[in-house]
Structure 1
Amino acid sequence: MRPRSDCLLFLLALIPSISAQSLNTVLQQQNLTYFNALVTANPSLFTSKNTTVLAPSDAAFAAAAQQQTGANAPIYDIPSLLSYHQLIGTITLKNLSNAQQDGGEVVSTMLKNATVVNMGGVSNVVGVPSAMQLGTQGTASNTGGSNGQQIAVQGGLGRGANVTAGDFVFDGGLVQIIDQVLDIPDTCSKTLTLNNVTAFVQYLSMSFNLVPSSGISNPDPVGFYDNLTEVTCFAPDNTAFAAQAPIYDNLNTQQLSAAMGLHIFRGVFYGSETPSGSILAPMWGNGTKGFVFERNSSGMFIGNSQLIKSDWMLKNGVVHILDKPLNWTEAVPINSSDPAFSGYGGPINGSSSTTAGASPSQTAGNSGAMGRQTYLAGGISALAFVVGSALSVL
């Protein structure tokens, strides 16, 4: 019989081999067949340490394969998709639950490729909605987190997922299992159109004064802001615009541009990260006035409008959905003594009290990722095909 001290040393020596399981091993143990196939086919993407992998279940991939294809269906660049499912840092279920109870949070991912991310050098993020957001916005409905609240994460295209199990240790960090495949953040117009917030896109398309006039014969306001680096849109939903259609439909180009320009902000202002009481200055107005952002027990507000959906991640920022349009009469003057907050993406104007509101003449960012050769046409069905092909290597 070994002495007790020798047995203890023997058991301790086994711990590294037990805890340092590979990602593939952990995925196999949890029956995550489809995600494991993609990891096996792309091993170079999973060499980092201190990460958290959001691994969709097999049922999540099966559900994704049934999604409707078409012009607005997801188009998956597999390396980018996998990078977006890797969070920077070892984030436990307790961390996620605490963030949810403390007002929400955004977490950086490994997705930083400039061909699909236009955030000024900052990686794209996954949101952890607050308990208030989950309760008022219907992000999730099951139970499982603290206080009986489901732990959820928010990705691109206005879609999210529930965390169903987790804290599985592998040699690079942790695995958390989710019940949906997260979509890569896309443009504002595509995200809104996919979620039937179409009136905002329609009115913006006619706001020609929001686009630099020099050398442009056919201005495209929608395309301009889809490709501008670091942008936040506050988009009223269709019901909100329908209530004011008699007004908006009779505005001339200058008036419509002014009205729509109040809803676009330079800088990335996540609802969960923007301090309550911040004054956010829109693109229209030269930074002299802005709207007060507030968060309380009833929800989140900007001016007199409530955010009825929030933190829909974009490739170049974030979009929030409002219950009514912003009005210039609700704006307040910006003073040099106001608290400075320039947004998550980094300072836009270090001397400003808030985002100063860049002029529409500012140069647009990267033109997007549609030319990337690794893009897989056909939307989610292509993802199902790739997963099926990758399974053959296991």
Structure 2
Amino acid sequence: MKFFKFSLLAFLPALVLGQNLTSLLSNTPQLSSLNALLSNYPSVIKTFSNLTNVTILAPSNQALGNYTSNSSTALSVLSSTNQTISDLLTYHILQGKFYASNFSATPKFLPTYLNDSSLSNVTGGQVVEGIVLKNKTYIFSGLLANSSVTQANLNFTGGVVHIIDKVLTIPANISYSAAVTNLTSVAGALNAGNDTNTVDQLHNVTMFAPINSAFQAIGSAVRNLSTKALNNILDYHIVNGTIAYSTDLCNGTRLNALNNETLSIRVQNGSIFVNSAKIVIPDLLVANGVVHIVDNVLNPNNTLATPIPTASSQKVAFQSASAASSIPFTSGITVTPTAFGTGAGFGSMVTTCSPSRQASSKHAPATTSTHSTTSAKTTH
């Protein structure tokens, strides 16, 4: 279970200063369902109550009601991804105190208390993304799900609570996330290369995942690839050892891909490009890092490919390739149903490099490792 996305309604610290978390939950009618849920997990509420300097994204009664009314779907997702109620709850707790005024149009990627190694293969705790869009604060979680803050700045002795309108979604592994978000060519290519488990188990990953039509556009180039050649292409889309969110992708950043080739980041005309591929949906949070969805398949034999920023679409990086009549690698791959009520968001707004990160991110090399087998957001 993963939930919480919130909207920014107030900038004044609200309610009673000095009350503990148990009192706050008991005194807030909108959180009576959460209070009842926690009463079934005394060890969890004890842990929550002892925390200090935290922000809790608390699902409203309606949010929990929507989630539990579809309990069969929710429990199926929990079971299939080895999640527990405790994991879900800890994903709603941020490390640090963040009032509504701390959020802005520049995304913040904030670590949570979810550190279960089977679900969060990232250093420092799995994150959520907080951003203000159209004067409303949203929290993006796994599978591009968004929650909005409906009431902000409820103080308790250990920190602050924001009430959100949907339960957060715990980020899943790359292969599951690809299937859910219709990146079925990526999911199928990983299967075809016997690469799924290896990629899902990497630590601190950034992946640039091509949309289905990008694979279809180079159908002739991938039709009869050997496993080694396919893995070389896939590895060129993956950076291992460095999580680069959209705010880290500054103009001039160079990243070392898993196959030890270089990826070049360019920021032009308000868009982010990796080589000649444009990021069309950034910051899909996954269990072991982040995925940026791109409109072109990267070619490890054409590392100098550059974009044409003014073009409506980019030329394929495989120069002699022709399009296929169907989407490659999708045979046998089905789109996995997502948990109810998470408000998945897709869109075309990409937030570019944060100015404060320009100096530290530029030309920053990524850690690489040997591979064993060779904002854009719309809110709902």
Alpha-carbon distance in structure 1 between the residues aligned to 2:114 and 2:200: 18
Give the 3-state SS of the residue equivalent to 1:223 in structure 2: helix
Match of 1:115 in 2: 118
Cα offsets for 1:149-174 (capped at 9, x unmatched): 32111112332211222111111111
Alpha-carbon distance in structure 2 between the residues aligned to 1:224 and 1:175: 38
Alpha-carbon distance in structure 1 between the residues aligned to 2:16 and 2:76: 45
1:45, 1:82 within 8 Å by CA — same for their partners in 2? no
Give the 3-state SS of the residue equivalent to 2:203 in structure 1: coil
Match of 1:308 in 2: 280
Alpha-carbon distance in structure 1 between the residues aligned to 2:271 and 2:258: 25
Alpha-carbon distance in structure 1 between the residues aligned to 2:299 and 2:140: 29
2:16, 2:155 within 8 Å by CA — same for their partners in 1? no
Alpha-carbon distance in structure 1 between the residues aligned to 2:253 and 2:279: 15
- Once the two structures are aligned, what percentage of the paired residues are identical? 27
1:88, 1:108 within 8 Å by CA — same for their partners in 2? yes
Structure 1 residues 104, 296: closer, same or farther in 2, change over 3 A? farther
Match of 1:187 in 2: 173
Cα offsets for 1:295-319 (capped at 9, x unmatched): 4553332122122222122221111
Please point out which of 252, 259, 263 is paired with 1:291: 263
Structure 1 residues 18, 149: closer, same or farther in 2, change over 3 A? closer
Match of 1:244 in 2: 218
1:341, 1:355 within 8 Å by CA — same for their partners in 2? no
Structure 1 residues 72, 205: closer, same or farther in 2, change over 3 A? farther
Alpha-carbon distance in structure 1 between the residues aligned to 2:181 and 2:253: 28
Structure 1 residues 178, 305: closer, same or farther in 2, change over 3 A? same
Match of 2:295 in 1: 323
Alpha-carbon distance in structure 1 between the residues aligned to 2:254 and 2:367: 10
Match of 1:355 in 2: 366
Deviation at 1:329, TM superposition (A): 5.5
Structure 1 residues 54, 332: closer, same or farther in 2, change over 3 A? same
Give the 3-state SS of the residue equivalent to 1:328 in structure 2: coil
Alignment of 1:377-392 (within 5 A): none
Deviation at 1:69, TM superposition (A): 2.5
Whether 1:92 and 2:103 are equivalent positions in the alignment is no
Please point out which of 73, 93, 102 is paired with 1:69: 73
Deviation at 1:183, TM superposition (A): 1.3
2:16, 2:156 within 8 Å by CA — same for their partners in 1? no
Alpha-carbon distance in structure 2 between the residues aligned to 1:292 and 1:95: 32
Give the 3-state SS of the residue equivalent to 2:136 in structure 1: coil
Alpha-carbon distance in structure 2 between the residues aligned to 1:158 and 1:173: 27
Please point out which of 89, 105, 108 is paired with 1:105: 108
1:118, 1:230 within 8 Å by CA — same for their partners in 2? yes
> Which structure has more helix as a fraction of its residues?
1
Deviation at 1:201, TM superposition (A): 1.2
Give the 3-state SS of the residue equivalent to 2:94 in structure 1: strand
Deviation at 1:206, TM superposition (A): 2.0
Give the 3-state SS of the residue equivalent to 1:151 in structure 2: strand
Structure 1 residues 246, 64: closer, same or farther in 2, change over 3 A? farther
Match of 2:139 in 1: 153
1:45, 1:83 within 8 Å by CA — same for their partners in 2? no
Alpha-carbon distance in structure 2 between the residues aligned to 1:272 and 1:353: 14
Structure 1 residues 269, 36: closer, same or farther in 2, change over 3 A? same
Whether 1:53 and 2:56 are equivalent positions in the alignment is yes
Whether 1:233 and 2:207 are equivalent positions in the alignment is yes
Give the 3-state SS of the residue equivalent to 1:318 in structure 2: strand
Structure 1 residues 109, 247: closer, same or farther in 2, change over 3 A? same
Alpha-carbon distance in structure 1 between the residues aligned to 2:16 and 2:129: 32
Match of 1:127 in 2: 129
Structure 1 residues 300, 33: closer, same or farther in 2, change over 3 A? farther
The RMSD of aligned alpha carbons is 2.8
Give the 3-state SS of the residue equivalent to 2:248 in structure 1: coil
Alpha-carbon distance in structure 1 between the residues aligned to 2:108 and 2:302: 28
Alpha-carbon distance in structure 1 between the residues aligned to 2:222 and 2:176: 22
Q: Which has the larger radius of gyration?
A: 1
Alpha-carbon distance in structure 2 between the residues aligned to 1:71 and 1:82: 14
Moved over 6 A (4+): none
Count of aligned pairs between the two proteins: 297
Please identify, of 247-256 and 165-174, the stretch whose mean Cα deviation from structure 2 is larger: 247-256
Structure 1 residues 296, 86: closer, same or farther in 2, change over 3 A? farther
Alpha-carbon distance in structure 2 between the residues aligned to 1:43 and 1:166: 21
Give the 3-state SS of the residue equivalent to 2:264 in structure 1: strand
